[in-house]
Amino acid sequence: MDQNAQAGHALASLIGDYRVPEGVADEMFGPDGHVRPVWRPFLERFAHLSAEDVSRRFARGEQYLRDAGVFFRQSTGDGPAERDWPLSHVPMLLEEAEWLKIADGVAQRAEVLESVLADLYGAGWLVREGVLPPELVAGNPAWLRPMVGLRPPSGHYLHFVAFELGRAPDGSWFVLGDRTEAPSGAGFALENRVATMRAFSDPFEHGTIHRLAGFFRAFRSALQRSAETLDGRMAILTPGLGTETYFEHAYIARYLGLMLLEGEDLTVVGGRVMVRTVAGLKPISVLWRRLDSAFADPLELDDRSALGTPGLVRALREGNVCMANALGAGLVQSRAFLAFLPRMAEYLTGERLKLPNLATWWCGQEREREYVAANLGRMMVGDALSQDLPFEADGAQLIAGRFQDGRDADPAAWVRAQKGALVGQEAVSLSTTPVYEDGALQARPVMLRVFAARTASGWKVMPGGYARIGGSADATALALRRGGRVADVWVVSDRDVAPETMHDAGAPFQRAADSLLPSRAADNLMWLGRYVERAETMVRLLRAYHLRLAETGREDDPRVARLAAHLRALGVPREAAEPGAVTAALEAAIRSASKVRDRFSVDGWVALQTLKDEVADHMRHVQPGDEAARALGQFLRGTAGFAGLVHDNMYRFVGWRFLSIGRALERAQNMVSTLSDFAAEDAPDGAFDIAIEVGDSVMTHRRRYQIDSSRTSVIDLLALDHRNPRSVRFQVARIHALAAELPGAEVSGTLSDVMRAAMRIDTRLATAEPTDMDAAALRSLARDLTDLGERITAAYLV
Amino acid sequence: MRYDLTLRIVYDYGGPAPTARHVMRIMPRQIAEEQIVEDVRLRVDPEPGEIAHRADFWGNPVTEMGFHAPVTRLEMQVRAQLERLTRPELLDLSPPLPRLGAEIAARRALSPEQPHHFLSPSPRVAPDMLITEFARQCLDPGMTVLAAVRAVGRALHGHMTFDAKATDVNTPPGAAFAARHGVCQDFTHVMIAGLRSVGIPAGYVSGFLRTDPPPGRKRLAGADAMHAWLRAWCGAEIGWIEYDPTNDVMVGSDHIVVAVGRDYSDVAPIKGTVRTAGRQASRHSVDLVPLGA
């Protein structure tokens, strides 16, 4: 075979079984039945990859997603569940010219939605002139009355919007839903891009694919300008860890260098929004809101919300904070609005919508209601004011004339009785796009989410998007509900495009303003440090226990018994081979780390996860005694790795200090507790050696004292020695030094409360003799350390 | 009738509460040709760090205050002199119930007095099947809207018993209705749910009741604390009427209006958060005394 024929053969085996369902458009094949030109170079290169090569490439993408901690979170009956991010590695390709048309339509639509919001929160002409029925506003929970008559300080309601698009059988694009409340997906689109590029790096030519960074840079600049005008910082407002898109919030915050805040991080003073930081209250002037409007302020909106900030609406009323998007912006994503948007567009702007939307009939109007009732076979019927897409979970109650809950009733009668509570929407077919299955490409229905951001020069549309792909060949949008996947979207030009990064190449070098550390983040970092150290202490004690058990074979040996009692006091149960308590401490560490994902490197995250997995793996099947001791030793090398990462690689920002303080405080406290039990006057023979072993100081002790361990030598080395990183004094000196660098440590010659407390303990240990440190002195030291921790919390963390 | 009003509210936080912020609707409302507030004063102890007065969407007077220092005990006092004008005897010019829908649809505006705000479920009043059934059974064919309101009210008054201990501020109307007990808030929420279910726009009114009845009349329930009743939209001709389901009376000059809204959540006298783990206790008292009495 010559080369051409070979290439043709490879391509044939890749796409030979690709079947486009009857009567729908396809992304890869054009209406003429030929592969669209934009796909050709991609497919030809793809076809040359061996099956192993493809799986190796896809694995690279998967690895990236796992390392970055991208999960698909889904609320199931049993609470939230996580599964692997369902990336379909084959991107969806769009020709630049086609994308430009979409972008043009999207920008127009965004502007129309802005005008609709301005009218419905302002003069209300749309209702007065009969363009929009009043009950769709007055009876709509998304219309927030406290926002009526309140012009946003930026002059705009919408700053960042998304649209769900589908391609109709005739090849044209249409909108399935407008997302204006707090649209998600842009961060996932970025992650999909990175993972997909890992898979299709060399030999794929990327010079013609539009990059995404420029879009984000433009949006950040726009936010920055608003922030400066209003004299404060910008931040992302998230509902927190409980939400399925939290990962994305953290990712975007890190990517754009924005603070990630929750409602409780904020307080309103004198009509200004302030963030509680370790350096006190600081003004916030721009909030990119990812929290639902209704939850934003329990004083003026949903009073049951525990996620919001009391007084936030007041700050808006005072014009001191720009909210992207404005509270109440979700009004226009109510399903019934689709029925009226074409007329509203013409009324408000005199223009026809360039990008039409899903045909929608509101059943509050008699003619429309009758039309829906008569055409139920090709309708999705559901809640008129729902904010969700009709084919998402809880979407439509009635599809193609059948009740989704299986009830046996007359659908037409139901539609006539429910009237204005319902809308009917045309059951549409989507286009198909390839996914890679069993060594070849298969056609699956696809829906495209595109994003638009308001910038100084108007709406900018992300050249790419977030594609959602159905789990089966069924081309109705319903397939997206079941086992769907996501994919990257490449907008491909016919010439090279300018490379873009997050950094503005033309701008002069400038160091960004010091970032602020919210108190809650500092608190989580401190606890992260504490939990990792706690796990380590438990493991050291467990190892000592198993070594003694292996040596004596007796649980009633006095040393074994004392270790078991000490472990129990730490919450480690008698069946000490069980790693449960250690795993629990590490899980707590991971929980703390998840709340500060935006401040935590991917490497640190991976190290933590690995640590936890290793404990679970190593410990599951080992027998008590020697084997367990060996497994625990392995784990200790793992924590050393994490500590090294934190110590060597983390930038010394304020957060690092809290992480380190947490660790030092925990270590000091644990050592005091170890000494109280194993360096006690009544300790059994061999207990001093346990203390030295748990304090990881066997070699040092041998070198320094040249004698058998005594109470004096143990206390000297583990409590008072300023050169031993395991000693109480070393850790206290460290806390003292770290505290000196915290905000407000010394104000015009006066030391902070925390500094004074740290200094007192430090001085006492520096001047103590080993004989001073009797049981009472250790108890008093333990109390002082607890008190120091409480002072740090009171000064910086609440 | 002219009145002297004193409202006193005390909160005990059981320890210093670090951050407190409140939105209050406790001052009597100015209503043209119905209720004239001549003089009103609010005293707050301790002095708040910030305080602002404004009107909300419904036109209710709102006071917003924040404390910048921890607060252990909070006392508020409203004193006012006001006049409640006597409404002329109401002639029933409301349309038959089946015609009400068309009259509502003819009103194309979003201003606060429009009936559209008061038909859909609101935060504290969700549709309830039993209440709907109850309301429907009160109706006769050909009834006017006003007659329907009175019929539902009278039936409800007979069905439920006033009981200050049976419910709390968060009891859903369906639960109070099923238990057949409640306070003015429950009576009002249940009846709002009932009226909305038969297509009559209905909202919530908070306010005060004259403390001692005129000679020869019995004392009304709910006079010692803030009271609640409802308003219903009875067509374009007579508009809003007010009815007190707890006492089964049309509202007259014994009722002083503080705030109106869709349900309790729109008019709650005090909303506010206190960052405290301690137990809170509150009490409040109302005196509404005819001037010169």
Q: Is the pLDDT of residue B276 over 80?
A: no
Domain that holds residue B109: 97-267
Question: Testing the interface with A: which of B21, B270, B275 to mutate, by most A Cβ within 10 A?
Answer: B21
Instruction: Give per-residue pLDDT as tens, A626-646.
Output: 777 787 887 788 777 777 777
Contact in structure between A169 and A476 (CB atoms under 8 Å): no
Interval A291-319: pLDDT, tens: 999 999 999 999 888 889 999 999 999 99
pLDDT in tens, A161-214: 999 999 999 999 999 999 999 999 999 999 999 999 989 887 666 788 999 999
Average pLDDT of span A251-255: 87
Residue A3: the pLDDT is 61
d(CA B254, CA A632): 79
Q: A77 pLDDT band (50/70/90 cuts)?
A: very low
Decide if pLDDT at A508 tops 80.
no
* Predicted confidence (pLDDT) per residue in A454-502, tens digit: 998 999 999 999 999 988 877 666 656 656 899 999 999 988 887 776 6
pLDDT, position A653: 81
Q: List chain A residues with CB under 8 Å of B57.
A: 145-146, 148
Alpha-carbon gap, residue A324 to A453, rounded angstroms: 10
Instruction: Report d(CA A391, CA A386) in Å as an integer.
Output: 12
Block residue for tokens 């604390």: B225
| Whether B161 and B197 share a structural domain | yes
Query: According to the per-residue pLDDT averaged within each range, which of A201-210, A244-253, A405-414, B258-267 is highest?
Result: B258-267
**3-state secondary structure at position A397:** strand
User: Considering the domain boundaries, does residue B102 fall inside one?
Assistant: yes
Smallest Cβ distance to B109: which of A120, A128, A268?
A128
Helix (H, G, I), strand (E, B) or coil at A487: strand
Q: Tell whether B117 and B189 lie within a shared domain.
A: yes
Confidence label for B88 from pLDDT (cuts 50, 70 and 90): confident
User: What pLDDT is attached to residue A502?
Assistant: 65
A122–chain B Cβ distance below 8 A for any pair: no
Q: Is the same domain home to B45 and B115?
A: no
Across chain A, what does the average pLDDT equal? 88
Q: Give me the number of domains chain B comprises.
A: 2
Which chain B residue is nearest to residue A420, measuring alpha carbons? B120
Whether B42 and B156 map to the same domain: the answer is no
Is B90 within a domain?
A: no
Compute the average pLDDT of residues A222-251. Answer: 88
Residues of A in contact with B107 (CB under 8 A): 134
Contacts with B64 from chain A: Cβ below 8 Å: 299, 311, 314
Residue A578: pLDDT over 70: no
Concatenated DSSP letters for chain B?
-EEEEEEEEEEEEEEEES-EEEEE--SPPPBTTTEEEEEEEEEEESPPSEEEEEE-TT--EEEEEEESS-EEEEEEEEEEEEEEPPPPPPP--PPBHHHHHHHHHT----STTSGGGGTS-BTTB---HHHHHHHHHT--TT-BHHHHHHHHHHHHHHH-EE-TTS--TT--HHHHHHHTEE-HHHHHHHHHHHHHHTT--EEEEEEEE-SSPPTTSPPPTTTTS-EEEEEEE--TTT-EEEEETTTTEE--TTEEEEEEESSHHHH-SEEEEE---SPPEEEEEEEEEETT-
> What's B40's domain CATH number?
2.60.40.2250
Give me the residue from A120, A140, A269 closest to B68, CB to CB: A269
- Whether A73 shows a pLDDT value over 70: the answer reads no
Residue of chain A with shortest Cα separation from B120:
A139
B13 lies in the same domain as B158:
no
What per-residue confidence (pLDDT) applies to A492?
Answer: 94
Q: Which two tokens stand for residue A674?
A: 């170890």
Residue B123 located in a structural domain? yes
Cβ atoms of B122 and B262 closer than 8 Å: yes
By Cβ distance, the residue of B21, B58, B265 closest to A311 is: B21
Residue A389 contacts residue A165 (beta carbons within 8 Å): no
| Closest-CA distance of chain B to residue A299, Å | 6
Structural domain includes residue B114 = yes
CA neighbor of B240 nearest in space, from B256, B251, B255, B249: B251
Asked if A127 and B108 come within 8 Å (Cβ–Cβ), the reply is yes
The answer to whether position B48 is within a domain reads yes
The residues, any chain, with a CB within 8 Å of residue A218's CB and separated by 6 or more, are A453, A455, A460
C-beta atoms of B57 and A267 within 8 A: no
Residue B91 is assigned to a structural domain of this protein:
no
Chain A interface includes B123 (CB < 8 A): yes
- Give the best residue of A135, A264, A266 to mutate against chain B (max B CB count within 10 A): A135
Report CA-CA distances (Å) from A126 to A130, A144, A152, A361, B228. Answer: 6, 17, 20, 18, 35
Question: Mean of the per-residue pLDDT values for chain B?
Answer: 91
Question: Quick one: B221 and B236 in the same domain?
Answer: yes
Assigned domain for B92 exists = no
Task: Specify the 3-state DSSP secondary structure of A249.
Answer: helix
User: Rounded to 5 degrees, what are φ and ψ at A220?
Assistant: -65, -40
Distance from CA of B272 to the nearest CA of A (A): 6
Q: For B210-269, what is each residue's pLDDT tens digit?
A: 877 777 777 777 677 889 999 999 999 999 999 999 999 999 888 999 999 999 999 999
| Domain contains B248 | yes
Whether the pLDDT of residue A510 is over 70: the answer is no
State whether residue A130 sits within 8 Å of chain B by CB.
yes
The alpha carbon of residue A311 is apart from the nearest alpha carbon of chain B, in Å, by 7
In this complex, is the C-beta atom of B113 within 8 Å of any C-beta atom belonging to chain A?
no
In this structure, the answer to whether residues B78 and B114 fall within a common structural domain is no
B23 and B81 part of one domain: yes
Of residues A132 and A595, the one with the higher pLDDT is A132
Q: Are residues B274 and B154 in the same domain?
A: no
* AA identity, residue B19: T
Instruction: Find residue B24's DSSP bridge partners.
Output: B63, B270
Lowest average pLDDT, out of A79-83, A347-351, A786-790, B151-155, goes to A79-83
pLDDT at B18 over 90: no
Indicate whether B158 and B225 sit together in one domain.
yes
One domain for residues B224 and B107: yes
Asked if B103 and B48 sit in the same domain, the reply is: no
For A168-174, which contacts have Cβ atoms below 8 Å and span 24 or more sequence positions? A168/A25, A168/A428, A168/A429, A168/A431, A169/A23, A169/A24, A169/A25, A169/A429, A170/A25, A171/A25, A171/A31, A172/A356, A173/A101, A173/A102, A173/A105, A173/A355, A174/A355, A174/A356, A174/A357, A174/A358, A174/A428
Q: Which of B107, B108, B266 to mutate to test the interface with A (most CBs of A within 10 A)?
A: B108
Q: Which positions in chain B touch A311 (Cβ < 8 Å)?
A: 21, 64, 66
